[in-house]
Structure 1
Amino acid sequence: MVFARGDVSGHDDQALGMNHLHSGDDCGRKLTSAQEHHTSASDITVVSWDGDKDPGNPYNWSPKQKWTLTAVAAFTTFITMMNGTIITVAHEAINEEFNISDASFPHSYWPVTSWAVGGSVSSLLILPLMEDFGVRWVFLITYVAFLCFIIPQALAQNFATLIVTRFFAGGCVSILANTSATVIGNVWETEKARNIPVSLYIVTYLAGSSIGPVIGAPIYHYLSWRWIGYLQLIWCGALLPMYYFMFKECRGTAILGQRAKALREDGVRAYSQHEIDSEGNSMLMIVVRSATRPIILFFTESVVFVSTLWSGFTVGTLYLFTQSVEQVFTGLYGWTPAQAGYVQAAIVIGEILGWVGTLFSGKLYFTSASRNTEVPGTPIPEARLYLAIVGGMFGLSGGMFTYAWTSYPSLPWIAPAVGLAMVGAGGVIVVTGISDYVVDAYSKYAASAVGIMVAGENTFSGFLPLAAMSLYSTLGFNWASTVLAFISFGLSLAPILFVIWGKEIRARSPFMKEATMEKRTESIDSV
């Protein structure tokens, strides 16, 4: 999940993943610090905000405007993420129609794998376009493209068509979800103001994936698997006018660029600072930089490496349950695939409960500022991990153990469902904590750090569930989930080292050290 990822043009060269939730702050302050002025050397007007109270600056919008756009963005994330898993309940009908067999390998999951891979690729290659074209038009164009790729999902006449079109649909959803995340960083200025919107975004990101089988089950049961695509097209198409009128441009550099363009049309040589800074940078250069820096961080930074594995495994596990739940509940209770789809609502309930827990995590984080001796007055980055570690051990691992050892036909179905709810709660707490920690610890390079985490989440989501059928068939329901529980528990132990030796780890990392120096400078300037 995930998994992540505001306006990062003054911070990092890319706009990826859930990092957008945080990294817009510094750029906004830079832009509001200067008035429109003339450079005598070339007589070029540099367009900036009209003072600190400029109503065009998204940070100065009213709370109603901010929450409206945030709600629209979060809802978009929820409604589009369903596309990834909604067809999983209909795999038997799809197999029968296209003559596909799951006897030796879960071939029916390839449409979900291609969807996740498409999301991973698009997040690295296409999201940088927002740097130059802004959020609104990237969002609207991508949304229309997404609608177009839903159509062949419903009309596909062969299995290959389904796989290919879902690859592009997944790419569109990744852009839409991350564009929605960008909104939060662009309209909420302070870290404290972003706390609730960030957690709201992450829970809609994960719950959207988890609720897919729950929504798909009644459609498949009462209509047919093709109606899963038809109804998505209907409700997503009906929302397009709302997005057109309500999804305002909120990227500061794009708004200033529009002002500069209007002045140029009147004969004034006006440019925004972003346009000046971007001169000479080709789109290819931007894309290459966006795609390579996350990989460098992954292989050179232990924090990024562990965080990517932990977050990726967490989100991948939530996708794995779209496969294992059907195996377990049909095997234990003789349920149909549609009935097994309904029970996955337990995961969504858990994710909502986990979201409530993340609000307490934010409180722990902000109160840590009173005991920070490294940068007095600012919260300790590792405080973001306190509840995430607990959520990983008792939520994810504990939920998997519960799911494993209540998988007996003699026990009521509600018992393993409780385990699923625990996993859902732990998943939200873990992903929120990891994302917040990485963004806070890497600051300037947060976009790249969380960008690779998003790629990891998509990779695990696409390929981990492919092992579910073999894992549960070979080891049995009890020990298959137990193995997953032990892996999750091991991944939860590693961040404890970050909490204990966080200061030393940040001192050895050139990327994290730069972030610490920035915070120390800001702390001194605020005194």
Structure 2
Amino acid sequence: HRRSTVPRADGKRELREKDCWDKLAYSWPKWKKAMYLASIAGIQISMNFNTSVYPSAVNPISEHFGVSTQKARIGQMIYLVAYSFGCELWAPWSEEFGRWPILQLSLFFINIWQIPASVAPNFATIIVCRGLGGLSTAGGSVTLGLVADLYEPETQHWPLLFVVLSSTIGTSIGGVIGGPIEHYLTWQWNFWIQLIFGVAVQAVHFFMPESRSTILIDREAKRRRETGEDPNVYGPNELKTPRISLKEAGKIWLRPFEMFIREPIVLFLSLLSGFSDALIFTFLEAFAITFPDNFNFGTLQVAWAFIPINASYFFTYFLYWPWFWRDEHLRKKNGLDSMSPERRLKPLLLLALFEPIGLFGFAWTCMGPPQTHWIAPMIFSFLVGLANFAIYYSSVDYMIAAYGPYSASATGGNAFARDFLAGIAAMYATPLYTNLSETRPSELATTILACLSCVGIVPIYIFYWKGPQIRNASKF
């Protein structure tokens, strides 16, 4: 990127990243990056909290409107399925118009749809508002893009790990907070609390700067023209004709789905990641069956049963640190290109095993007294949480390293699978945990999930050893 001294036929010159590096988000001071990341983490927790707190409103809504509990769960399913398409719809626009306006718009719509849901005169209103709320959510795909705005590829793993932490905490904190809401408040408060949380994070983000490089270069070029410093310089978007072509947008929008279907790495890692996320949403329903039936837990105690899963995310977050330090040391010693992308999967070779271990353990310790104490299934649910975090982080990290410029589309496929499969889980979890057997439904259901997870983690080992050959055959 030398300074682009060759002007176009009309005398306009394009300003490049290298010409105004000090104006870009990469060169922000550490405190500014930390502040920005914290606001993004808040948004991510809020968006995912909206998905995970709804199950605690299922029983009250079912009683209030006289619908079956299975019907009431449609509100959970439709939100997550709409979210899986929503976050793909928003992502390309955040690269065109900048992150700030897109996140503000997304949060604005999410918050607006909470209001009719909380004063809903009938059940259909809730379903419609949940669906629109899900479509309005510009979740993981935009927040992962933000990390790329602030950090160069070789230092991205620290902030990426932090964003993954906020995303996973959002999906499990709903279980802890939902219990007290159901116990002490009416179902309307389920939506009011989502709204209060959403407005708070939107207000904080309102004061945050723009971070998308192309937008910042446009602004700098405009400033240089106005001050007369360089009257012929223009930003990349100012030189694009047409500014936005719908054909381009359609291409970008379809690419995550194309990669999801055509790239084995994206397909299998996304399915595994989605399966792990669906497990947590299955637990949101299953804990409310297993613990009251087998351990005589009340509503609040079921909520506290989610604490080990939340704890496991923090534990795994810190577990990655020594690994990062070692990698940084090896990079300094052997040079930046010394590591293949497959190395990003290495921690997963061990940590992914905790998913089947945790599920088998949970299945065979959830009988309740006198055979087992309640702490046993909670310890095993901790292991499932640990594996879920590791699978999410390492699969995204590997895709970013493997696909370079197309990594946004690859991780888009991952986000799609996570939300879509979690949405479907809302519908099958309760039948799965009630209908399989008269005497031991929870044990059988969890054993089936454990067997599925044994199949799900196999691709990790194949990609670790055969990844380079698979990537060489890719068109991306």
Deviation digits for residues 5-63 of structure 1 (CA, Å, limit 9, x no counterpart): xxxxxxxxxxxxxxxxxxxxxxxxxxxx34475616211142335746x4311111111
The alignment status of 1:159 with 2:123, answered yes or no, reads yes
Choose 470-479 or 249-258, whichever is displaced more: 470-479
Alignment check: 8 A CA contact 1:38 1:44 kept: no
Paired AA for residue 297 in structure 2: W
Query: Retained in 2: the 8 A contact 1:84–1:115?
Result: yes
Counterpart Cα distance in 1 of 2:275 and 2:296: 29
> Does 2:59 match 1:92?
yes
Q: Return the match for 1:67 from 29, 34, 39.
A: 34
- Contact 1:149–1:165 (CA<8 Å) still a contact in 2? yes
Equivalence for 2:347:
387
Question: Cα 1:127–1:503, aligned 2, differ >3 Å: closer, same or farther?
Answer: closer
The separation in 1 between residues aligned to 2:339 and 2:93, in whole angstroms, is 33
How many residues align? The count is 468
Partner of 1:242: 204
What's the CA shift for 1:88? 0.9
Q: Deviations over 1:66-101 (max 9, x none)?
A: 111111111221123101111211211100111111
Taking only the aligned residue pairs, the percentage that are identical comes to 25
Instruction: State the alpha-carbon separation in 1 of the partners of residues 317 and 188 from structure 2.
Output: 33
For structure 1, the residue ranges without an aligned partner over 5 or more in a row are: 1-32, 512-527
Superposition map of 1:7-46 within 5 A: 33-35=1-3, 37=5, 39=7, 41-46=9-14
1:397 is aligned, of 351, 356, 363, to: 356
Counterpart mapping for 1:403-482 below 5 A: 403-410=362-369, 411-475=372-436, 476-482=441-447
Deviation for aligned residue 1:347:
1.0
Residue in structure 1 matching 2:114, options 132, 145, 150: 150
The amino acid of 1:504's aligned partner reads Q
The alignment partner of 2:366 has SS state of: coil
CA distance in 1, matches of 2:332, 2:91: 38
Give the deviation of 1:269 after TM superposition: 5.8
Q: Secondary structure at the match of 2:152?
A: coil
Pick aligned residue for 1:497 from 459, 462, 468: 462
The whole-number CA distance in structure 2 between the counterparts of 1:161 and 1:60 is: 47
For residues 142 and 108 of structure 1, the distance between their equivalents in structure 2, rounded to whole angstroms, comes to 25
Q: Which one of 483, 487, 499 corresponds to residue 452 of structure 2?
A: 487
Residue from 162, 184, 193 that aligns with 2:147:
184
* Matched letter for residue 365 of structure 2: T
Q: Is the 8 A contact 1:59 1:188 kept in 2?
A: yes
Normalized against structure 2, the TM-score is what? 0.91
Which amino acid counterpart does residue 234 of structure 2 have in structure 1?
Answer: Y
**Equivalents in 2 of 1:451, 1:239: separation in Å?**
23
- The answer to whether residue 253 in structure 2 is matched with residue 291 in structure 1 is yes
SS of 1:273's partner is coil
Deviation at 1:474, TM superposition (A): 2.9
- How far has the Cα of 1:406 moved from its partner? 0.7
The 8 Å contact of residues 346 and 418 in structure 1, kept in 2 or not, is answered as yes
Q: Residues 333-391 of structure 1: CA distance to partner in whole angstroms, max 9, x if unpaired? A: 2223343122112211111112122334435655676999xx98331211111222322
Native 8 Å contact 1:86 1:213 kept in 2: yes
Q: Is the 8 A contact 2:49 2:194 kept in 1?
A: no
- 1:53-452 maps to which residues of 2 (within 5 A)? 54-102=21-69, 106-173=70-137, 175-191=138-154, 193-245=155-207, 247-261=208-222, 270-276=233-239, 278-280=240-242, 282-363=244-325, 377-394=337-354, 396-410=355-369, 411-452=372-413
**Mapped partners of 1:214, 1:414: distance in 2:** 17
Kept in 1: contact 2:169–2:310 (CA 8 A): yes
Question: Matched residues in 2 for 1:121 and 1:326: separation?
Answer: 29
**Is the Cα–Cα contact under 8 Å of residues 87 and 139 in structure 2 kept in the other structure?**
no
TM-score (norm 1): 0.83
Match of 2:472 among 507, 515, 524: 507
Question: Which whole-Å CA distance do the structure 1 matches of 2:393 and 2:111 have between them?
Answer: 29
Work out the CA distance in 2 between the residues paired with 1:71 and 1:448.
24
The answer to whether the 8 A contact 2:144-2:163 is kept is: yes
Give distance in 2, aligned partners of 1:303 and 1:260. Answer: 40
- C-alpha distance in 2 between matches for 1:259 and 1:38: 19
Note the residue ranges of structure 2 that are not aligned, 5 or more in a row.
none
* 1:404-460, Cα deviation, whole Å (9 max, x unpaired): 111112122211111111111110011111111111111122122121111111110
Secondary structure in 2 matching 1:461:
helix
| Aligned counterparts of 1:385 and 1:314: Cα–Cα separation in 2 | 16
- Mapped to 1, the partners of 2:323 and 2:448 lie a distance apart of 28
Please state whether the residue corresponding to 1:224 is helix, strand or coil.
Answer: coil
The CA distance in 1 between the partners of 2:99 and 2:2, in whole Å, is: 23
Q: What is the CA distance between 1:219 and its match in structure 2?
A: 2.0
Which amino acid counterpart does residue 217 of structure 2 have in structure 1?
A: L
Q: 1:178 to 1:502 in 2, by over 3 A?
A: closer
What's the CA shift for 1:176?
4.6
Distance 1:306 1:177, change over 3 A: closer
Give 3-state SS (helix, strand or coil) of 1:510's partner. coil
One-letter code aligned to 1:120: S
Partner of 2:234: helix, strand, or coil?
strand
Taking only aligned residues, the RMSD between alpha carbons, in angstroms, comes to 2.5
Name 1:517's counterpart in structure 2. none
The answer to whether the 8 Å contact 2:141/2:415 transfers is no
For the Cα contact (< 8 Å) 1:125–1:290, is it kept in 2?
no
Q: Contact 2:43/2:202 (CA < 8 Å) preserved in 1?
A: no
SS at match of 1:39: coil
